[in-house]
Structure 1
Amino acid sequence: MKILAVTDLHGGSVEDLLGFNGIDLVLVLGDITTGGSIEETMIRINPLREAYQALYAIPGNWDRKDSCQWLISEGLSLDCRSIRIEGIILYGVGGSVTTPFSTPNEFAEEEFGQKLAGCPEPEKGERLILLSHTPPRGAGDKTALGMHVGSENLKRFIKEMAPDLVLCGHIHEGRDKTMIGKTIIVNPGPAPRHYAIVKITDGITVTLY
């Protein structure tokens, strides 16, 4: 399976993301707009849906409730929802832990932990990929001021559950590929300039662009 992972479009054009070959799945990791309307969300999501075989998304902290509802109504949202595709469980947690900016879709660290509790355990032979707009504390979460602002509950979840891959975003300058235990943590950086290609065969390889 070949996955295109993008995050933090913030209303930017998706034109440069439409021409990749062999993509089986697109995963959008939130902040599709910056508090924009449903129409603005559709302008970013629909071209990606039309260009590729399948797309799923989670909202970010800047995505309004009406846009979140539109993703749900279209069957695209993985916010607190799981699906199984070719032996892979995808589970998502959208929004972010509390920020200094009072954005439309943020919540307390405790609530974030409750949302993670809905993630199913993989059966033998299955892989687990977690989509989280918020990065875990200490991985892909370092701000320009050098502060780590990721979720402690997510870090704890990763250590306990050991998903194969965590795809996150939120912290633009936190673009990184790293590890927590055996789990690959990827913050692709803000699209459309940056994105990640994930290839899943016997193992998982991730390339940042």
Structure 2
Amino acid sequence: MLIAQISDLHIPRKNTKTYGIAPMAENLVLCIDHINQHLPKPHLVLVTGDITSTGQAEEFNHAANLLNRFEMPFYVIPGNHDDRDILRSTFGKQACPVESEGKIDYVIEDSDLRLIALDSTLPGSPGGEITEAQASWLDARLNEKPTQPTMIFMHHPPIKCDVLETDVDGFIGKELLGSVISKHHHVEKIICGHIHVPINTSWNDTVISTAPSMGMQLVLDLTLKRESEFVLEALIK
């Protein structure tokens, strides 16, 4: 199964640039066109949060219109820049197949690789959170099929990544999440976004991988001393 991941789109209102400078909508169109033309074609796309710039309905509508260009199924989870209720109402159950109110957690059962979405957002905070209820829900889902390879996708990585801008955001409940993951050795990977830098590392007998942004990358400075800054990247055909 081939899966594409995109993250941290930060789509603004139509006909505007993100923060007045970044052509994120144009970048997304080029990215989608590239994925659609890729051979072999991905079976599905996971969009790991920060879909919008400020979480407004107008931004979500713009993002949804662009994401609907995908020629394969795509699934979304919120990031800290998103409003989960507006996300839910905008995308519906085709891209956000959640059955309950509150946190957007769900399972995709369409292939040999089981996919579990976790909503790591904490309204009003840039940081992440996994609640006790979510940890119990995840444990139950993982117990359902203890031998089936499983991948979890969420916005915030539950670790410090030596990226000062995002490390200071914090993650409430990371030990709780880790205690669940460590019991289930069929969790092949956890993929995340948020930090605008690609990183891979081991954690509780699995692998955490983060995707870069759609064109606004944080400068990686492992000394943790310099102020954070973004580098704008242009996608070209």
TM range (shorter): 0.7 to 0.9
Q: Indicate conservation of the 8 Å contact 1:135/1:154, yes or no.
A: no
1:93 aligns with 2:112: no
Q: Is the 8 A contact 2:6 2:213 kept in 1?
A: yes
- SS in structure 1 of the partner of residue 183 of structure 2: helix
Unaligned stretches of 5+ residues in structure 1: 195-209
The answer as to 2:115 corresponding to 1:83 is no
TM normalised by structure 1 equals 0.74
Q: Which residue of 1 aligns with 2:29?
A: 15
Q: CA deviation at 1:93?
A: 1.5
1:143 to 158, 163, 176: 163
Instruction: Provide TM-score, normalisation by structure 2.
Output: 0.66
Give the partner amino acid of 1:187: T
Structure (1 or 2) with the larger CA radius of gyration: 2
1:156 Cα shift? 2.7
Gaps of 5+ in 2: 12-23, 98-103, 218-237
Residue 89 to residue 40, structure 1, CA distance change in 2 (3 Å): same
In structure 1, distance between residues paired with 2:150 and 2:66: 27
What's the offset of the Cα at 1:154?
A: 2.7
- State the distance in 1 between where 2:90 and 2:127 align: 17
1:53 is the counterpart of 2:93: no
Q: Which residue of 2 aligns with 1:197?
A: none
Aligned-CA RMSD value: 2.8
* CA gap 1:74/1:169 in 2 versus in 1, 3 angstroms: same
Query: The residue matched to 1:40 in structure 2 has which SS?
Result: helix
SS of residue matched to 1:164? strand
Question: How many aligned positions are there?
Answer: 185
Cα deviations by residue, 1:132-172 (Å, 9 ceiling, x for unpaired): 1121224xx43226947343333333222331111112223
Query: Cα distance 1:155–1:16, how it changes in 2: closer, same or farther (>3 A)?
Result: farther
Structure with the higher strand share, 1 or 2: 1
SS at match of 1:10: coil
Contact residue 166 and residue 195 of structure 2 kept, 8 A:
no
The verdict on how the C-alpha distance between 1:8 and 1:69 changes in structure 2, with shifts beyond 3 A counting, is same
